């Protein structure tokens, strides 16, 4: 089984029943279902696995107990291969409607035509936007604990955030680093209690609440961060070798705007319970969408992908264009 999906030498000049944009769990699931509905499908995405590539062990997907994320991606590839669904690595810049057809503009492969589009583009990481962050990115500033934790063996690190990513990251880093500061801007964590309890039990994790990082300092590498207590206004410099910024994700505002997709007040693509967007024949699924109160899990993305595929199938059947 491979980490890369197959392209099956697909003819890109045909009109597809559906083009799925993205290569995360929602996109794979949509592809599996459009495959089972026998829709002529093309998947176009940048990174096979999407955010799963940044995960280590996944233990909250029913039935796959403690599966490694990489193994999960391989299984996803094998599953869509079984239905001969081609996937190509490319970036979709935009799509436009011409009559009953959507013309999907890609960065490398030119324009691709489809009767329906399923948008499953995920979300991008949020930045702290403090002095030093850009300068030291890759030189002590990281946005992915799972990817970079082993680089900080016997070092001192800070993790910023109070969600699942930050808590999961702090736990992982505590296995490598001598000391982990977990810095959160409130006194309540939004992470699942199981993560909070695990981190609190780690003797080398110091939790700093009601605080934020206001500056990242160093020479060639990160050496220090400035931490501000938001209740007292006091600031202090803390010596660290690395800082992991795990403060969530930005919604796909730009992509939505370029493609006239309606968004909710937070910038996520608005969909109904069937994954329908404001555009006819365009569906959306996974983390880029507004549904399910921001509960973004592999299992929810996969469910939304299946629903969007079903909607594309119904849409095409109603128009009898297949």
Task: Catalogue the active-site residues.
Answer: 144, 147-148
Q: Is 161 in the site for ligand NAP (CB under 6 A)?
A: yes
Residue 19 to residues 7, 56, 74, 259, Cα–Cα distance (Å): 13, 29, 21, 15
Q: Is 86 in the site for ligand NAP (CB under 6 A)?
A: no
Q: Is 186 in the site for ligand NAP (CB under 6 A)?
A: yes
Instruction: Say how far apart CA 46 and CA 43 lie, in whole Å.
Output: 10
Looking at the Cβ atoms of 266 and 278, the one nearer to ligand NAP is: 266
Q: Is 162 in the site for ligand NAP (CB under 6 A)?
A: yes
Please report, as residue ranges, which positions from 163 to 182 form the binding site for ligand NAP (by CB under 6 A): 163-166, 168
Looking at the Cβ atoms of 86 and 286, the one nearer to ligand NAP is: 286
Among 212, 289, 304, 311, which residue interacts with ligand NAP (rule: CB under 6 A)? 212
Please report, as residue ranges, which positions from 297 to 316 form the binding site for ligand NAP (by CB under 6 A): 297
In terms of C-beta density within 10 A (0-12 exposed, 13-18 middle, 19 or more buried), how is residue 116 classed?
Answer: buried
Q: Is 60 in the site for ligand NAP (CB under 6 A)?
A: yes
Among 185, 217, 223, 270, which residue interacts with ligand NAP (rule: CB under 6 A)? 185
Instruction: Say how far apart CA 66 and CA 237 lie, in whole Å.
Output: 38
**Which residue's Cβ has the minimum distance to ligand NAP?**
163
Q: Which residues bind ligand NAP (CB under 6 A)?
A: 60, 126, 128, 160-166, 168, 185-186, 190, 212, 246-249, 294-297
């Amino acid at each position: 089984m491979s980490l890369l999906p197959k392209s099956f030498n697909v003819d890109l000049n045909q009109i597809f029943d559906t083009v799925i944009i993205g290569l995360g769990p929602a996109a794979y699931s949509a592809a599996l279902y459009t495959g089972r509905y026998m829709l002529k499908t093309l998947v176009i995405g940048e990174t096979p696995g999407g955010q799963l590539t940044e995960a280590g062990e996944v233990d909250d997907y029913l039935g796959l107990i403690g599966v490694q994320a990489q193994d999960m991606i391989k299984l996803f590839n094998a599953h869509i291969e079984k239905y001969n669904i081609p996937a190509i690595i490319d970036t979709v810049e935009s799509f436009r409607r011409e009559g009953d057809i959507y013309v999907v503009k890609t960065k490398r492969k030119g324009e691709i035509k489809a009767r329906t589009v399923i948008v499953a583009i995920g979300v991008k990481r949020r930045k702290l936007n403090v002095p030093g962050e850009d300068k030291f990115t890759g030189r002590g500033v990281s946005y992915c604990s799972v990817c970079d934790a082993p680089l900080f063996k016997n070092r001192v690190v800070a993790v910023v955030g109070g969600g699942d990513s930050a808590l999961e990251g702090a736990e992982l880093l505590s296995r490598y680093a001598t000391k982990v500061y977990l810095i959160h801007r409130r006194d309540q964590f939004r992470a699942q209690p199981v993560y909070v309890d695990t981190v609190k039990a780690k003797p080398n994790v110091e939790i700093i609440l009601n605080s934020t990082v206001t500056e990242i300092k160093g020479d060639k590498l990160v050496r220090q961060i400035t931490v501000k207590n938001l209740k007292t206004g006091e600031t202090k410099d803390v010596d660290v070798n690395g800082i992991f910024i795990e403060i969530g994700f930005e919604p796909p505002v730009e992509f939505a705007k370029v493609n006239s997709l309606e968004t909710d007040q937070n910038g996520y693509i608005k969909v109904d319970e069937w994954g329908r967007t404001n555009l006819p024949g365009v569906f959306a699924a996974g983390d880029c969408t507004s549904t399910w109160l921001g509960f973004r899990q592999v299992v929810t993305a996969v469910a939304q992908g299946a629903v969007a595929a079903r909607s594309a199938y119904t849409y095409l059947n109603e128009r009898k264009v297949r």
